[in-house]
Amino acid sequence: MISSRHFPIAVVVCALALAGCETSNMGGGLFSGTPQQPAPAAPAAELPLMPPSFPPQNLVGRWGLTAYHNEADRERTITAAAGQCRNPYVITMGPTGGVMMHLADQSTPTELAVKGAPGNKNFIGPKEDPPGGNSDREVVSFDGRVLILRWMDPEVQGRYGTMVYVRCGAEGAKPRPKGKPKPRPAAAAAPKPVQPPIQRQ
C-alpha cells in the first residue's frame, strides 16, 4: 500500500510511463530517440548525351543577332535580326571541334559544344557539362538560316531573352520566287530627306 507521503511521486512515475508508451507507438517524441527527418529531394536526373541533330559546322558564319522576351514578338524580332548584319555576330570553329560563342556575361568567346539529348533536343554549352546544364542554351529551332536559342538559367533568360540569329549574306537571304524579272525604272528619283526619329527620354 502506497502511503500518502509517496502518493504524488507514484502518480508522476505512472504518468511518465504512460507518456513513454504513447510516444513509442507514434514513432517520435520525448522517448523515441532521434526524431525522424523528411527524406531529401532527389536531384534532377541528367539528360544522356546523344549526337546532335546538326554538326557544329552548320553554325559557322556571320549572323544578325537580337532577342525577344515575349513570344508574340518572335517574327518581328527575326526581321530585326536580319537588319543587324551591318555589325554581325561571327561564329567560328573552335580548336577542338566546337564553336566559338559567348557565354552569359562574358566579354570573350568560349569554345562550346553542340550536344544532343533525348526527344530530338539540342543544346549549346560547355563541353564538360551534361546536356541542359545551367550554362547551356537550348536550340528552340534551327533551319540553317534562323537560329533561336533559349538560356537554361532562368535568371539569365530573364535578362537576355530568347536569342535570335539570322544568317547574313546570300546564305541568309530568303529564296525569291521564280518569275519574270521586274522592269527597271527609267530614272531613279532623288531620295527625300528622312527626319530622324525622336529620342524618348
Domain ranges for the chain: 56-172
Do 171 and 145 touch, CB atoms closer than 8 A? yes
pTM over 0.75: no
Instruction: Kindly give the residue spans of alpha helices, DSSP state H, lying in the chain.
Output: 7-26, 74-82, 154-160
Mean pLDDT, each 10-residue run in order, the chain (201 residues): 49 45 45 50 66 96 97 96 96 97 96 96 96 96 97 97 93 48 51 40 37
∠ Cα 36 39 43 (to 5°): 160
Question: Phi/psi of residue 17, each to 5°?
Answer: -65, -40
Q: How many helices (H) and strands (E) does the chain have?
A: 3, 8
Q: pLDDT value at position 180? A: 53
Q: pLDDT value at position 31? A: 41
Query: Are β-strands 146-151 and 121-125 bridged in parallel, bridged antiparallel, or unpaired?
Result: unpaired
Q: pLDDT value at position 190? A: 43
Q: pLDDT value at position 17? A: 47
Residue 115's nearest CA partner among 53, 157, 65 is 53
Whole-number Å distance between alpha carbons of 162 and 52: 20
Identity of the residue numbered 182: K
Q: pLDDT value at position 183? A: 55
CA 180 to chain centroid, in Å, comes to 46
How is residue 78 written as a grid cell?
Answer: 527575326
DSSP state of 52: -
